[in-house]
Structure 1
Amino acid sequence: MKVYDAATIRNVALVGHAGSGKTQLASAILFNGGMVNRFGKVDEGTTITDFDEEEVARKHTLSASLCYVEWNKHKVNVVDTPGIGNFFSDARAALQVSEAALVVVDAVAGVMVQTEKAWEAAQELGLPRIIVLNRLDRERASLERSLQALRDACSRTVIPVQLPIGEEKAFRGVVDLVSRKAYVFQTDESGKFAEAAIPAGMAASVESAREALVEMVAEADEALMERFFDAGTLTDDELVAGLRTATTSAKLFPLVCTSAALNIGVQQLLDTIVTTVPSPTERPFGGAVRGDGAVPKADDKAVPCAFVWKTIADPFAGRITMFRVVSGSFKADSTVYNKTKDAQERFGSLQLLQGKTPTTVPEIKAGDLGAVAKLKDTLTSDTLGDKADPTVFSPLKFPEPVLSYAIEPKSRGDEDKISAAMHRLEEEDPTIRYSRDQQTKELLLSGQGQVHIEVTVAKLKRRFGVDVNLKPPRIPYRETIKASTEAHGRHKKQTGGHGQFGDCKIRVEPLSRGSDFEFVDDIFGGSIPRQFIPAVEKGIQDARSRGFLAGYPVVDFRVTLYDGSYHDVDSNELSFKLAGSLAFKDAMSRARPTILEPIMNVEVYAPSDFAGDLMGDLNSRRGRIGGMDTRGAMTIIKAQVPMAEMLTYEQHLTSATGGRGSYHMEYSHYDEVPTQSQAKIIAAAKAERAGVEVEEV
């Protein structure tokens, strides 16, 4: 495999909604470039980039994967990304290491929620975007309808550079508006085509579309605009150069026409990528440098520097690190420095990845994407390079989990295996989280949504042999008091020999939220010997951990120990511990105990048409609406909602918005549960203690 220089490399990310044909397009690109002998099909599970068993079974990409093609003396790296919202962070990472986004749009469905999210993510990075209008062979496919939707949702400067020849099942090729050439394809999926005359019935539409293209290219450049006004048009050379400049500067977004399944228009797309997408030498790497440093240029003679954008946890090959060489070059069998972790690493063989299949190369130069196996400390977002070079890139931003499940092993003794396996999966996917709830003692698996959780559980079983059950997590309720009171606790027991005696008096009072617990020693005159006072506190701590109303920890109160008595012979630590526990229970019975629940800060993103219904739903979940913002056609609703009401929110939001809504939530504070709900929580706790299964309240 040839080692390519940065000027001849093109890095593109395939992004868009699930089912738009990104993976099939990647397969067609590889087939047309001669990188594979067989045209892989998503429906048959034979594509290069969807190699995980779960991806094959679901027929959807679940993790970004890398492939490459050699085309017209260039190397085109293609990152195939997930279109399901739960896995969108992989698409963001892929965009950061690419020079352009290929936004794949289904010509039937048009613009969908992940189309818009991908567009926004590329826009944040200032990336050039080429729209690939795919599936033009399908029934009800429409260039006109899709173009209008793209202009409404994404940009008014989306402009076709091709027109389709034939409609729906009759789609057979494309007309290039720049060259005025028509390409008609064979119908055997071979990708073979012939240059032909523009169909007579298309002549007028081709000229009209070309005039619109020329005008839009001219508008993107002042000098070309003057030329256009003077001459009334642009020369072919001016159009080609102006189109490239407008595209690379993200002022104009060309649209090309394809059917990846029929292998139509794919070679023309590759030509567009090579001629229009900027090389790494023409566009700075998309990552930000910590501090005041500048992003290094893609010069293979410069100091080596690389950014890790993805990690794969392979139970056989070990950890596979995928990186972008930002500057310099990296050689096999060399020592590199992890500047993020302040640790030395050893590169073995360097790899170029064709899906899961590696090709060993001696060197990877600036601008290229590569991989290396079995680094000991390096993870996603780390910077690799020379120890003396101060350049360190800021980490990728990953969303916080929005959905949690309690997990328990189906086989006893697998808890340690779960922990080890989840640690590996967290390295691969920073958007999942594995933790133990210190209050409920449950093991929690948290992720971006239902599909994300299900896929993670499937990986646990398939890769690591760990089978788990999922169940809704217990809500970590707490208890507190609303009134001050005094209480007395006495423990006395005579057994014939040394007895037990402990006696204490306490004062309890409520504290502000988040104060947890305070213990004040206010004993004077030796009514309780100093060595027994910690035992009183321990007894109260033990009792408060078991709760009073429903078995949840009691928080936000102060206990003052102010009096008591003891026996010279019978008093001991155990006696005063029991006395403290009795005093606490006595106090709780009169201090107006109540139950607290966790309240979450929630932000819901959805098209503005759904705002009213979504706010009504949040109100029905005992939410408090805190505000509403508008961003283009999207509305952001901010609210505070009890955690107990959010356990099934993802399913509702998906159903209510047709998959176009998303949300983010994080813990805010604890607040009192309404009286009616408290009664249900207490009843459920009593039933659970009695061994009766109850639904989570």
Structure 2
Amino acid sequence: MAVRAVGRAAATGRADSAQRAVPAVSDPSRVRNVVLVGPSGSGKTTLVEALLAHSAAIPRQGTVTDGTTVCDHDPAAVRQQRSVGLSVAPLVHDDTKINLIDTPGYGDFVGELRAGLRAADAALFVVPANEGREGAIDSPTLAQWEECAAVGMPRAVVVARCDHARADLEATIAACQDTFGSGVAPLYLPIRDGERLTGLYGLLSETPVGQAPPGAEAARGELIEGIIEQSEDETLMERYLGGEDIEVNTLIDDLETAVARGTFHPVIPVCATSGVGLDALLEVLVGGFPSPLEHPVPRVSGVDGAEHAPLTADPDGPLAAEIVRTSADAYVGRVSLVRVFSGTLRPESTVHVSGHHSGIPEQRTVPEDVSPNGGHDTDERLAHIYAPLGAALREVDECIAGDICALTKLGTAETGDTVSAAEHPLLLSCWDLPEPLLPVAIVARTRVDEDALVKTLAKIVAADPALRLERNQETHQTILWCMGEAHADVVLSRLRAGGAEVDAEPVRVPLRATLGGPARVTGRHVKQSGGHGQYAVCHVEFEPLPRGAGVEFVDKIFGGSVPHQFIPSVEKGIRAQAARGVTEDHDPVVDFRATLVDGKAHSVDSSDAAFQTAGALALREAAEACGVRVLEPYDEVTVRVPDEHLGAVLGDLSGRRGRVQGTDVAGQGRTLVRAEVPSTELLRYAVDLRAMTSGAATFTRRFSRYDLAPAGVTQ
């Protein structure tokens, strides 16, 4: 455990500066998969680079040499990946391989964050040292903490950027304790030379000896009490309160257990530029965080949905790995980042790649034509296996259970797919994918761009689980459902980088129309111009129906005025015209009843086509006689909002013509608002809600029904 060696760790000694390659591991207990989580600008990427340089995984921060295969040759692309993408960098400390998984901090890229949480066994929650200066942790940071808590991820808190001009370490730790709960406690205190951070003091080991900073004794007492509260030994508290000194090793064991359970979160101050705290942090990663053996493997089934026995991180077990990220490179091709949960991946082997099927539990159900991960099964042969180092790849001999690797040129692989043995295909349950709620309609500038758009879109959708593609059959628009404006900007830039020049256009919401009242009309289609003529007359009564009733057709013909074989033709013509619409906007006509009451036919000139035309004309005559009313779609919207923003959210929903259905308590300080809102008013709601609540509120939406649109909206 880190606290055993905190004396030497806090002394800020540097590791051997000679660069060394990360060796392959054969024991999952010697692997740590650690995801770095935190807001944008917190210093996650800088911390990763500092740890890599400190452990000699790279010769200096941000540099990768020794003949590796580089997958990103464009510096702008590298910068973009650092800010919006997920990347993995391995290092070795104390004979343990640590895979550092860097995730973006902006809320639009929560899909990448969840992918990182899926690949990891523990998390470093990185908070900048100036975060608590204003007295509270901001809402986006709290939302990320809740993302980690939702999956039960063990966490330690790293207070980074301690050299920042506005750094306030003590205030930041206090803010973390106030926001994240009593389970947050400092494991170290800073040792300063004036305003400069020079080292760390271990509260449990009380080292370095003689360098205890002010307040160390009180902080140590609070730390010990917090650990004892988490202990399964109920006698410890009584012994401690009785004045007995609890052995440090006992406290360490209880601390390790509490961290692995996700109920205790040690705080480590770090200064990446000076190296203070890096050794202490590495010791925590190795000694305090769980290995893959201690982290449960996701539920697994057969590709047909049949139950399968639970798996463990056994290198000799059935192969079950998951693609947590997919990227495309002009030089290497498709690169799949893979977490191996069970078994061992080896080069030159044949594997089975399984996509998710909508019938399997826990999988989000979306139409096949818009699914980012539709069901598919295929066998593919692996060529090489690589250890990823940021944007670079280093070839390795194998990848065992618990480790992370990269595979290239898997033709059908998409993010979220399962990689298993070809002779024993499996399917891992999918993680909870975020629902994109910002629609962006795109159009290619030229026909050449249309061809490039089709090819590039397929690659982007396969790589990004938070992106949903919709081709709307009514408006004939190609719509990208994104997480927010930043996400949309990244997607559009990737499209253009792929050779497709596209423009964004306003999203059109499909509307409906209904008849304004009852009407009795005649559909008359009579033509005679030599040869075989056309003759069909039908008298039809139309009346509007309640919302959601659809189109009804009633036959009240008596005496054979319309021959029996032509009655379905009248119905077919009415329904076809209703689908085409009767207005310039061609909105389908719904919620009416058409009753055929009389008509005329000709023994020679009447036909199926003639009566279809007569039926269509009858509906158009009815629309002209009684007018039409426009119907707009309404969505059921559920907003989870902090109580301090509740008034603003309710007022905004009212301004969007929303009808609040009710509110419920949704946890401490949160309220769940249920409302019905016109779909046309929700096109920008994902952006507006985030701005209104500083990113603290979330919402879901689903189609409810069509209802009459107000006259002003219709105009």
TM-score by length of 2: 0.85
The one-letter amino acid of 1:132's match is V
Deviation per CA, 1:330-368, whole angstroms, max 9, x where unpaired? 211112234654532322211111112111111111110
Aligned to 1:312: 327
Q: Deviations over 1:22-46 (max 9, x none)?
A: 12211212121212223139xxxxx
- Of the structure 1 ranges 117-126 and 571-580, higher mean CA displacement relative to structure 2 is found in 571-580
The whole-number CA distance in structure 2 between the counterparts of 1:378 and 1:457 is: 22
Counterpart selection for 1:552 from 587, 594, 611 = 587
- Contact kept? 2:110, 2:434, Cα under 8 Å: no
Match of 2:145 among 104, 115, 119: 119
1:137 aligns with 2:147: no
Inter-CA distance 649–437: structure 2 relative to 1 (3 Å threshold): same
The residue aligned with 1:217 is 227
> CA deviation digits over 1:583-640, x for unaligned, max 9?
1112123456311111112222332211111111111111111232332233332221
2:52 aligned counterpart, secondary structure: helix
Measure, in 2, the Cα distance between the counterparts of 1:128 and 1:225: 24
Aligned-partner SS, 2:171: helix
Which residue does the alignment assign to 2:272?
260
Query: Among residues 233, 246, 251, which one is paired with 2:263 in the alignment?
Result: 251
Superposed counterparts of 1:456-471, under 5 Å: 456-462=491-497, 464-471=498-505
Matched with 2:526 is: 492
Tell me if the contact between 1:407 and 1:443 (Cα under 8 Å) persists in the aligned partners: yes
Aligned with residue 204 of structure 1, among 202, 214, 238:
214
Superposed CA deviations along residues 311-341 of structure 1, whole A, max 9, x for unmatched, are 2234543332222211221211112234654
In the other structure, the counterpart of 1:303 is 318
2:131 to 90, 105, 109: 109
CA spacing shift, 1:167–1:439, aligned 2, 3 Å: farther
CA contact (8 A) 1:15 1:104 kept: yes
Q: 5+ unaligned residues in a row in structure 1: which ranges? A: 42-47, 183-195, 681-697
Give the secondary-structure state (helix, strand or coil) at the position aligned to 1:61. helix
C-alpha contact 2:541 2:595 (8 A) present in aligned 1 = yes
Instruction: Give, in whole Å, the separation in 2 of the partners of 1:53 and 1:560.
Output: 69
Q: Separation in 2 of the partners of 1:213 and 1:291?
A: 48
Q: Deviations over 1:452-505 (max 9, x none)?
A: 11111111111x200111122012111113544322111334546655433222
Q: 1:64 aligns with which of 83, 86, 92?
A: 86
Q: Quote the residue 1:473 is aligned against.
A: 507
Match status 1:642 vs 2:678: yes
Which one is further off, 380-389 or 416-425?
380-389
- After TM superposition, the score normalised by the length of structure 1 is 0.87
Instruction: Answer whether contact 2:386 2:407 (CA < 8 A) is retained.
Output: yes
Cα separation, 2, equivalents of 1:592 and 1:351: 67
Letter paired with 1:637: V
Q: Does residue 33 in structure 1 map to residue 68 in structure 2?
A: no
Task: Give the drift of 1:572.
Answer: 4.8
> Which residue matches 1:330?
345
Secondary structure, counterpart of 2:213 in structure 1 = helix
TM alignment of 1:12-31, pairs within 5 A:
12-31=34-53
Aligned residue in 1 for 2:616: 581
Amino acid at match of 1:238: T
Residue 3 of structure 1 is matched in structure 2 by 24
Give the paired residue count: 656
- Which of 690, 695, 710 does residue 659 from structure 1 map onto? 695
Alpha carbons of 1:387 and 1:270: their partners in 2 closer, same or farther (altered >3 Å)?
A: same
Equivalent residue letter for 1:245: T
1:371 aligns with 2:383: no
- Look up the SS of the partner of 1:203 in the other structure: coil
Instruction: Map Cα deviations across residues 357-406 of structure 1 (whole Å, 9 max, x no partner).
Output: 11111111111011212223433333332466586321122122211121
Q: Distance in 1 between matches of 2:508 and 2:614?
A: 31
> Aligned partners of 1:155, 1:292: CA distance in 2, in Å?
39
**Superposition pairs of residues 533-548 of structure 1, within 5 angstroms:** 533=567, 536-544=570-578, 545-548=580-583
What is the aligned partner in structure 2 of residue 153 from structure 1?
A: 179
Would the aligned equivalents of 1:335 and 1:346 in 2 still touch at CA under 8 Å?
yes
Look up the match of 1:689: none
Structure 1 letter corresponding to 2:164 = R
- Distance in 1, Cα, partners of 2:194 & 2:109: 31
Amino acid at match of 2:44: K
Mapping 1:334-413, distance limit 5 Å:
334-338=349-353, 341-386=376-421, 392-413=427-448
8 Å Cα contact 1:532-1:576 kept in structure 2: yes
One-letter amino acid of the structure 2 residue matched with residue 241 of structure 1: D
SS at match of 1:457: helix
Query: 1:374–1:325: structure 2 CA closer, same or farther, 3 Å change rule?
Result: same
Contact 1:137–1:169 (CA under 8 A) maintained in structure 2: no
Say if 2:104 and 2:113, in contact at 8 Å, map to a contact too. Answer: yes
Q: CA 1:125–1:434 in 2, change beyond 3 Å: closer, same or farther?
A: closer
Q: Relative to structure 2, which stretch is displaced further, 226-235 or 651-660? A: 226-235
Distance in 2 between the 1:53 and 1:460 partners? 18
> Aligned partners of 1:49, 1:96: CA distance in 2, in Å?
23
Q: How does 1:603-642 map to 2 (within 5 A)?
A: 603-628=638-663, 629-642=665-678
**Any conservation in 2 of the 1:49–1:67 contact (CA below 8 Å)?**
no
Q: Structure 2: how far apart are the matches of 1:288 and 1:208? A: 48
- C-alpha displacement of 1:178: 2.9
> Per the alignment, in what secondary structure is the counterpart of residue 127 of structure 2?
strand
Q: CA deviation at 1:282?
A: 2.4
> What is the match of residue 206 of structure 2?
180
Q: Pick closer, same or farther for the CA change 1:57–1:364 going to 2, 3 Å.
A: closer
SS in 1 for 2:700: strand
Q: Note the alpha carbon deviations across 1:132-188, whole angstroms, 9 max, x for none.
A: 111222233223322232223222110001122349963343222233335xxxxxx
Q: Matched residues in 2 for 1:54 and 1:527: separation?
A: 75
Shifted more, 373-382 versus 328-337: the winner is 373-382
Shift of 1:534: 5.5
In the alignment, residue 207 of structure 1 is paired with which amino acid? E
- Output the CA distance in 1 between the equivalents of 2:252 and 2:74: 41
Aligned residue identity for 1:467: E
Identity of aligned residues (%): 36
Label 1:635 to 1:542 Cα distance change in 2 as closer, same or farther (>3 A).
Answer: same
Within a 5 Å distance, the mapping from 1:42-57 to structure 2 comes to none
